[in-house]
Structure 1
Amino acid sequence: MNTFSFSKTVALFAGVALISGAVGGGIAASLIQPNQINQNGDPSRIIEERAFVEESDTIAAIEKVAPAVLSVVATKDVEVFMNQGRDPFFNDPFFRDFFGIPEQQPQQQQPETERLRVGGGTGFIIQEDGLAITNKHVVNDPQADYSALTNEGVEYDVEVIARDPVNDLAIIQLHEKGRRDEERRTGEEREFGPKPKNMPKVELGDSTKLQVGQNVLAIGNARGEYANSVTSGIVSAIGRDIQAGDSSGQFSELLTGLIQTDAAINFGNSGGPLINLAGQVVGVNTAIDAAATGIGFAIPINQIKPALESVAKHGRIIRPVLGVRHIILNEERAAQMKLDDLEYGALITGDRSRGEFGIIPDSPAEKAGLRIDDVILEVNAEKIDENNELSMIVREHAPGDTLRLKVWRGGEILNITVTLEEFSEA
């Protein structure tokens, strides 16, 4: 369960905003006015003071967040095979001939089970009772048991409360250890232990206020070995879309509206917090471009807040679904696809070679009559473009909501009404 790697199929799905914001956000830059250098005549001193302020903010932010960061570990009973009835020493041909020992016939290997660590990642606590956030791919194995280690070395059992059906997000609950261990020994069904109390928790920030160039810090369980490792960088871009997959190739997911950062997100950092210099969590580290250096991605915290509200209200994460795969058009991309009349919109497309339908069977989109190669121009009179993506608009609604779509089809403009449904992984 390592950190996601950036898929080579990104170009197919990405509606990437090449310029996502104005350069800015350096937290200490505003401390220096142009006339200060002229007044004291010592620019080197001002630079030192600015560096000191930035370092102090960085240290304070880490000290504020680190106590609430968790190392998440997955363990599982794994079948192993043991050689039975064979002595490697006396099965050597020289010793068999010398001592007159007949050749040993290999016996069938006997399977045994051994409890092994099979994965890991990072998480962070958001409530004093131990409710926490991590990535879905960190806790995606229903056959595994999960535990979490705090910054102080205290271990807790982990209950997976909810997995987001459309995002790489999971909500987990810490429990005091003991009962789960007894359950594994006896095979009896037992409840988790009690929830902890007075746990340190993070402060959630506002990811909509992020600016390109702003300083950020990533905290995580680097490579599953170095707990609470901290890396620093800047926000490189906002609003990135990627097709991400895990290292096994068995898990792939379209992630939209991500924060791109050059703060190193190492393997094992999945689910860790991306924070600003005020010590507020602005994102959840989730993916890296394995073929490059300094390209990592985090889910904006504002995408996650509705999921937390859904769990508090319904006990699970409820997401609406439209049921289309699409790419976001701009003037250049539309020209490449010979859609010269269009400069924006969401082009419905799929990849048959990968078994990916442009229109998901039995989805609201199919029921409403949408087709492959349709371009959704507007939703409820909101224009769809790189700064206002279709998936983000859908995510702002609830199952049962009705959307009015303005659709381009082969040169004609159609008005189509569609009713969103609850996403189901079945």
Structure 2
Amino acid sequence: MEQIPKIIEKVSPALVSVVLIKPNKEIQEENQEKDGFVELETGSGFFISDSGLIATNRHVVFEVAGDYWVFWNNKKYFAEVLLRDPDNDVAVLKIKNQGKTPFIKLADSTKLQLGESVVAIGNVLGGLQKTVSSGIISGLSREIMAKDESYNKVFELKNMIQTDAAINPGNSGGPLLNLRGEAIGICTATISDYENIGFAIPSLFVSMAVAEIGAKTKK
């Protein structure tokens, strides 16, 4: 599709990498970094407001005791995890002292239609930066069983968007976009041993998470 390069150009400034870090005293000697910390896990995320709010998967920031950095615009920022929603695999982070950030508008995921064209993109550090795939919405309101490797538990995710756009470690946590460059969901899972079956969390759950944060802030 001719518009995909324009979509990527539009949304790329709002993509980030999310990295779990720990002091190197907790890590084996051969993995230590010179600045005293070592990067352990990475995932994608994206700004959803100009105030530095970031949406990603809950499984990307699963370690409650861990610290997280966000890599954006060739700089790294400490990220505060404002909310983890394990039921919907949504997390919202925030970085500070960065000025206004570019962001991706959240679309109304309740108005999606089967066959609608979509684009998945991620921004994991390393060789998987700017991982892009495209496809269509091939199913709505799907229920899947997902395994949380961090706790070795299987849990159910409901109301998922099914797509044949490739969802892989390069774009998990990144946005699933419509052709207007709006986020209709967060890329999150695939079914092992099957091709072209990926799933995304509807943007509705991201909006609900942001509303919950706002309600807590006002108390």
What is the distance in 2 between the residues matched to 1:148 and 1:122?
9
Report the alpha carbon displacement of residue 128 of structure 1 after superposing the two structures with TM.
1.2
Report the alpha carbon displacement of residue 238 of structure 1 after superposing the two structures with TM.
0.7
Q: Cα deviations across residues 305-333 of structure 1 (Å, max 9, x unaligned)?
A: 122111111149xxxxxxxxxxxxxxxxx
Matching residue within 13, 21, 36 for 1:67: 13
Instruction: Please state if 1:291 is matched with 2:213.
Output: no
Report the alpha carbon displacement of residue 303 of structure 1 after superposing the two structures with TM.
2.4
Q: Cα deviations across residues 210-254 of structure 1 (Å, max 9, x unaligned)?
A: 222111000113586322211111111111101111345624321
Q: Cα deviations across residues 40-68 of structure 1 (Å, max 9, x unaligned)?
A: xxxxxxxxxxxxxx41x222221221110
What is the distance in 2 between the residues matched to 1:247 and 1:233?
28
Instruction: Please state if 1:208 is matched with 2:110.
Output: yes
Q: Give the % identical residues.
A: 41
Q: Which amino acid letter does the alignment assign opposite residue 161 of structure 1? A: L
3-state SS, counterpart of residue 133 of structure 2: strand
Could you say if the C-alpha distance between residues 157 and 234 of structure 1 is closer, same or farther in structure 2, counting changes exceeding 3 Å? same
Q: Cα deviations across residues 115-149 of structure 1 (Å, max 9, x unaligned)?
A: 42221101110111211111111011123221111
Matched with 1:117 is 39
What is the distance in 2 between the residues matched to 1:197 and 1:162?
22
Q: Which runs of 4+ in 1 moved over 2 A?
A: 77-82, 221-225, 246-249
Instruction: Please state if 1:148 is matched with 2:70.
Output: yes
Q: Which amino acid letter does the alignment assign opposite residue 123 of structure 1? A: G
Q: What is the number of equivalent residue pairs in this alignment?
A: 211
Contact persistence 1:258–1:300 (CA under 8 A): yes
Matched with 1:163 is 84
Q: Which amino acid letter does the alignment assign opposite residue 41 of structure 2? A: G
Q: Cα deviations across residues 181-204 of structure 1 (Å, max 9, x unaligned)?
A: xxxxxxxxxxxxxx3212101111
3-state SS, counterpart of residue 92 of structure 2: strand
Greater strand content: 2
Matched with 1:132 is 54
Could you say if the C-alpha distance between residues 315 and 292 of structure 1 is closer, same or farther in structure 2, counting changes exceeding 3 Å? farther
Contact persistence 1:74–1:117 (CA under 8 A): yes
Contact persistence 2:17–2:125 (CA under 8 A): no
Matched with 1:233 is 135
Structure 2 gaps, min length 5:
31-35
Matching residue within 70, 87, 99 for 1:197: 99
Contact persistence 1:288–1:296 (CA under 8 A): yes
What is the distance in 1 between the residues matched to 2:58 and 2:79?
13
What is the distance in 1 between the residues matched to 2:181 and 2:137?
15
What is the distance in 1 between the residues matched to 2:28 and 2:182?
45
Structure 1 gaps, min length 5:
1-53, 83-113, 176-194, 317-426
Q: Cα deviations across residues 341-391 of structure 1 (Å, max 9, x unaligned)?
A: xxxxxxxxxxxxxxxxxxxxxxxxxxxxxxxxxxxxxxxxxxxxxxxxxxx
3-state SS, counterpart of residue 129 of structure 2: strand
Question: Could you say what the CA RMSD is over the residues aligned between the two structures, in angstroms?
Answer: 2.1
Matched with 1:411 is none
What is the distance in 2 between the residues matched to 1:251 and 1:153?
36
What is the distance in 1 between the residues matched to 2:123 and 2:194?
21
What is the distance in 2 between the residues matched to 1:171 and 1:222?
17
Matched with 2:181 is 279
Instruction: Please state if 1:172 is matched with 2:93.
Output: yes
Matched with 1:254 is 156
Matching residue within 28, 31, 39 for 1:80: 28
What is the distance in 2 between the residues matched to 1:293 and 1:225?
22
3-state SS, counterpart of residue 198 of structure 1: coil
Q: Which amino acid letter does the alignment assign opposite residue 229 of structure 1? A: T
Matched with 1:45 is none
Report the alpha carbon displacement of residue 169 of structure 1 after superposing the two structures with TM.
0.6
What is the distance in 1 between the residues matched to 2:5 and 2:47?
20
Matched with 1:385 is none
Could you say if the C-alpha distance between residues 249 and 166 of structure 1 is closer, same or farther in structure 2, counting changes exceeding 3 Å? closer
TM-score (norm 2): 0.88
Report the alpha carbon displacement of residue 284 of structure 1 after superposing the two structures with TM.
0.5
Contact persistence 1:133–1:170 (CA under 8 A): yes
Matched with 2:168 is 266
What is the distance in 1 between the residues matched to 2:161 and 2:104?
19
What is the distance in 1 between the residues matched to 2:125 and 2:155?
22
TM-score (norm 1): 0.47
Greater helix content: 1
Contact persistence 1:71–1:123 (CA under 8 A): yes
Q: Which amino acid letter does the alignment assign opposite residue 146 of structure 2? A: A
Contact persistence 2:122–2:131 (CA under 8 A): yes
Matched with 2:33 is none
